[in-house]
Amino acid sequence: MKRREVERRVQESIQELLDDELSVNHTFRYTPSYADDRHRMKLELNAMEKDVEEGRRPQSILVLRIVFLHDLREIQIPNIFMPDCMKRSRLGKRTIKAIHDVGASFDYELFITDLTQSFFDRLLKRGAVQMNESCVQITAATDLTSDVGSPIHVFDESQELTTVSIFDFLKDK
């Protein structure tokens, strides 16, 4: 059945991107659940920290929640949250792109819902289509690969670059 195939292929694309990175510091589990006579499927990826220092409880993280609305031919992502150890490597954006690409191959549209304002603004800068105040549609034109809007990679070309010696800095201390 085409519905199960899109679900399986999306999960495989996520596993290919995330499983190796997650397994370094976390145990994790994919949990599917069905509703509405199997016309709606929710897939969650939950992770739990491992090797936690004594006296501290391991942190549980809902890394990803995907909802397949098969009758509407939609995939929605209401939750995507990379653990700290996986941030700054674009895994979140690459995961969104992988889900979009698989969904598009089955004529499904992808929506990111329940967004924080900052993530909403960053996705709009990347070319996502605004649907309402907390939902955007990811399209083939959405740039999920470059540094657009990434605060860590912003460079003001109008500023002059200067070299600084660490020894000069330390000498002044």
Distance CA 15, CA 86 (A): 14
pLDDT attached to residue 12: 95
DSSP 91: H
pLDDT attached to residue 155: 47
Q: Which contiguous run of DSSP H or E holds residue 167? A: helix 166-171
Number of H helices, E strands in the chain: 4, 7
Partnered with residue 138 across adjacent β-strands are 110
pLDDT along the chain (173 residues), means of 10: 89 91 86 81 90 80 93 95 76 93 97 94 95 96 78 53 59 59
pLDDT attached to residue 25: 83
Distance CA 152, CA 123 (A): 16
pLDDT attached to residue 16: 92
What structural domains does the chain harbor? 2-145 (3.40.630)
